[in-house]
Every structure is written in C-alpha cells, then in structure tokens.
Chains A and B, each alone.
Chain A
Amino acid sequence: GAGVSQSPRYKVAKRGQDVALRCDPISGHVSLFWYQQALGQGPEFLTYFQNEAQLDKSGLPSDRFFAERPEGSVSTLKIQRTQQEDSAVYLCASSLKTANSPLHFGNGTRLTVT
C-alpha cells in the first residue's frame, strides 16, 4: 500500500517568501505529526493532529509557522516570511492512533532558504 507522501521533495525559497509543504498520510491514520530535522540532528517536534484537531502546536518555532488538516486527512505546513534558519528537512509522520502506534514517516521536504 501507499506510504506517507510529502511534496515537494525539495524547495528553494528566497528569504521572505512564503512556502507550503504538503503531507498525504496513510489512509485511515488518525494521527499526523510534523517534525523539523536539521542536518545531523534528531527530528524536532513541531505539531500534531488527531483527525482534524490540532492537539499540540507547542513545537512551532514562531507565529510564522502554521499547520492545518481541515478534513482530517491531508495536512499542510505553511511557513510565512521564510528565514535562513528555517532551512531543514520537514518530516511528516502518521499513525493509526497516538499511543503505542508506530510512526510511518514520509521522505520529507528539504527546504533551503537563500
């Protein structure tokens, strides 16, 4: 079956531009997570959803970051007025539910802000 799909795979943005990163989770997966991974580091939690409800957004670095999952399936992470420090790989993961469920990761979107 299809895994978690993220698009675009690579994104280059000029500083100050807005970007939108898309995540298509595995069908039927209730929970969806966004992580930011800098080079050589572990995935840093950004936010997560259970269906369409955003249960925790404590990891979003600033109010320039916004995530949504309006119909409880596809999710979009939006970054406004991108800065160089936003350059990273953005990973999306989904799971059947939150507790005790393995995370299935997408291949990520590598964002480079120039």
Chain B
Amino acid sequence: QQPVQSPQAVILREGEDAVINCSSSKALYSVHWYRQKHGEAPVFLMILLKGGEQKGHEKISASFNEKKQQSSLYLTASQLSYSGTYFCGTEIDVNRDDKIIFGKGTRLHILP
C-alpha cells in the first residue's frame, strides 16, 4: 500500500530541472507532496485530486495521472532552497476518511 518513489536521490546544480515520481498499486483519491529539511518537520507543498489535475507552487508543479495511479513533481530552475527530502503521501478511499501513507522519500541535493 506504500507508494513507491523514484529516484531515491538526485543531485543537481542550481538552475537545473528535476522530476520526482510517485506510483501506487492501488487506485488513488489524492496525492500530497511534502518537503522535509534535515532535522525539521515535513512542510506541505500541494495536494492533487483525481482528475489529472496539475498544480503549481512557485517553480514547483505536479501532475496526477489517475489511470496510471501516478503523480510526478516537477522542479524547474532549481534553487539552493529546494534541497531536502520530498515525500508523496497517498489517500486511497476518501469515503472512509482514509489515512495518508507516505513513500520512502526522494533526497534532493542542489549544488551551487
């Protein structure tokens, strides 16, 4: 039931782009994305609902392909502040007030 994230880690130079993927073996109602910096709490980035929605937040955007049970997070023109670990969290059955299950994370390191 835990979503699978890929890649596990990414190293970029400032200004480069990255894509982080999240896939589930179960049909999803929604996908959450969070970023966690070392020693800090995870911070909410965005929620995507089923329907192939794409959302944006600064230079960070995401898509959700309901049929493929996948979501992707896009970071364009990365900044040093984007470094951290990115987690996707999935909700399966909203009618049952389902819990949010997180993937193992993708570590992103931005070099100056």
Contacts and interface: CB of A to CB of B under 8 A. Distances in A.
Given A91-B41, A105-B42, A107-B40, A42 B105 contact: yes
Contact of B102 (A35, A48, A106): A35
Contacts of B40: 107
B103 A103 contact: no
Contact of B100 (A4, A33, A107): A33
Interface stretch (A11-19, A65-73, A76-84, A94-102): A94-102
Contact of B34 (A33, A59, A97, A103): A103
Interface in A50-90: 50, 55-56, 59
Given A105-B41, A106-B41, A100 B47 contact: yes
A108 interface: yes
Interface residues of A, number: 27
B101 A102 contact: no
B91 interface: yes
Nearest to B96: A55
A28 interface: no
B41 A42 contact: no
Contacts of B32: 102-103
Contact of A99 (B89, B91, B103): B91
Nearest to B46: A102
A97 B34 CA distance: 18
Interface string B92-105: 00100111111111
A97 B91 CA distance: 13
B97 A99 contact: yes
Contacts of A41: 104-105
B102 A42 contact: yes
A42 B29 contact: no
A45 B101 contact: yes
Interface string B79-112: 0000000010101001001111111110000000
B99 A45 contact: yes
23 contacts: A41-B105, A42-B102, A42-B103, A42-B104, A44-B102, A45-B100, A56-B99, A98-B97, A98-B99, A99-B29, A99-B94, A99-B98, A100-B30, A100-B47, A100-B94, A102-B44, A102-B47, A103-B34, A103-B42, A103-B100, A105-B43, A107-B40, A108-B41
